[in-house]
Amino acid sequence: LRKARKEKQLVSKRLPRGLQGDGEEMEIRETLITQEEVLQLYRRIQHGSDDRLAALRSLRQVLQLKKSQQMFVRFENSIHVLIGLFTSSLAVVQLEAAQCLLELSHSDDPSISLVCLPATPYLLTYLSGQSAKFTELCLYILGNLAAENEAVRKQLLVQGVIQALAICLQSPHGAVVEAAAYSLSQMLQAKEAGEKIVPGVNSECMISQGLVRQAVILLIALGRAIESGTTDGVELLIYPVARCLGNLIGSNGPARTTVQAHDGDLLRALSTFVSGFLQSRPFVTRECLWLLNNLTGESRPVLMLLGNIAEMGLECCEKLRQQADIFPALCTTLRTADPEVVRLALEVLNRILSHCQQACVLFANQSGIAALEAIQYNSNEEIRVRANFLMDRYFADKAI
């Protein structure tokens, strides 16, 4: 597992304003909020007054300020009162209490994450609820709490967070999948992830349940969406999905095999992400390149991907031809002892030469004809047939 770079883009917490209530936003100046005002809001939600819901909404606005967060958590039993409302039988009260917890989880004060620890078992329980919006809220709260505090992550692991997130990743709701991927990526960025967290991810189980395949299909769909002009916010989903998939492929052979069934479409999607976000969202580009690196960690996948690139047509073949090392690398590959690698190299070569006649000259100048002649008498019949075909089609009657 790659150690995550400690850049702000990669470890920052999230506070999705789209999950906020329908009430009007309040403009709050930190200098105007006093401890007495925060205390009055706390008492209103604590004692069950008739305006408890309005008090919760006001409290949520006040908790956007660091000073107010610190005031609130110092009040006796304040978190337990908030958790009591979070577990209320009234859905509207639950939702407002969850939004208050979301504001607290977004705090950059590590001590507040610890204060929120008693909420974690309830957050995990509600991940299996019927409301997609409420589940999404719980997932972002969990991800934020886990972002910078090892004690929180340790408790979440004991409580079964990995298994719960794996189930959420199968949700039919895209927003829930995005939030689950975010929470999982926050867990995996921890310095103790390799020793304590990753072993809890049963990759074989994830493969058997089709999660790897679904992640690939999701990335392909996002690539097509970007090609059609839809870019608003999709990078927030691409980034965690690409990271999780890249890490899984890097440590699991069957996962790589599952991905290769879609490698042509996935390659196109990754290329779209890399080119589309190179300037505006470089952290997305890094994750996509990481995934591509793990996907092509062996000779065969590299050749398969090269073949898929060449299959895309003249423009892609021209770009391959312009790579100075492509033909020396193919010539070297033709001399390897692995028949499957040689076969794939011949296939890549055929696709490039069929689209780009200038490539014949470049290949010949790299002693390519000699490399082909050497395998015309290979013990493998398929290799002999392919080598003879290339010689007859591209080099027999041409003045190279």
3-state secondary structure labels for all residues of the chain: CCCCCCCHHHHCCCCCHHHCCCCCCCCCCHHHCCHHHHHHHHHHHHCCCCCHHHHHHHHHHHCCCHHHHHHHHHCCCHHHHHHHHHCCCCHHHHHHHHHHHHHHHCCCCHHHHHHCHHHHHHHHHHHHCCCHHHHHHHHHHHHHHHCCCHHHHHHHHHCCHHHHHHHHCCCCCHHHHHHHHHHHHHHHCCCCHHHHHHHHCCHHHHHHCCHHHHHHHHHHHHHHHHHCCCCCCCHHHHHHHHHHHHHHHHCCHHHHHHHHCCHHHHHHHHHHHHHHHCCCCHHHHHHHHHHHHHHCCCHHHHHHHHHHHHHCCHHHHHHHHCCCCHHHHHHHHHCCCCHHHHHHHHHHHHHHHHHCCHHHHHHHHCCHHHHHHHCCCCCCHHHHHHHHHHHHHHHCCCCC
How high does pLDDT run on average in the chain? Answer: 81
CB 212 within 8 A of CB 266: no
Please state the φ and ψ torsions of residue 379, each to the nearest 5 degrees.
-70, -20
Question: Is the overall model pTM greater than 0.85, yes or no?
Answer: no
Specify the pLDDT at position 263: 64
CB 230 within 8 A of CB 244: no
Contacts of 327 (CB under 8 A, 6+ apart): 359, 362, 363, 366, 368
Specify the pLDDT at position 239: 86
Specify the pLDDT at position 79: 94
In order along its 400 residues, the chain shows pLDDT tens digits of: 333 343 444 456 666 655 555 444 445 555 578 899 999 999 999 887 678 899 999 999 999 998 999 999 999 999 999 999 999 989 999 999 999 999 999 998 888 989 999 999 999 999 988 899 999 999 999 999 988 788 898 899 888 888 899 889 888 998 999 999 899 888 887 777 777 776 655 566 666 667 778 888 889 999 998 888 877 778 888 888 888 888 777 665 566 666 665 667 887 888 788 778 877 888 888 888 778 777 765 556 667 767 777 777 777 777 777 766 788 888 888 888 778 888 888 988 998 888 887 888 888 888 888 889 989 888 899 999 999 999 998 887 654 4
pLDDT, tens only, 145-171: 988 788 898 899 888 888 899 889 888
Contacts of 76 (CB under 8 A, 6+ apart): none
Specify the pLDDT at position 233: 78
pLDDT, tens only, 174-185: 899 999 989 988
Specify the pLDDT at position 83: 94
Indicate the domain borders of the chain. Answer: 209-297, 314-395
Please state the φ and ψ torsions of residue 339, each to the nearest 5 degrees.
-60, -35
Specify the pLDDT at position 138: 95
Q: Which CATH architecture has domain 314-395?
A: Alpha Horseshoe (1.25)
CA distances (Å), origin 316, targets 9, 137, 271, 288, 303: 32, 43, 12, 19, 15
Specify the pLDDT at position 92: 92
Cα separation, 85 vs 33, whole angstroms = 23
Cα separation, 391 vs 218, whole angstroms = 42
Specify the pLDDT at position 10: 45
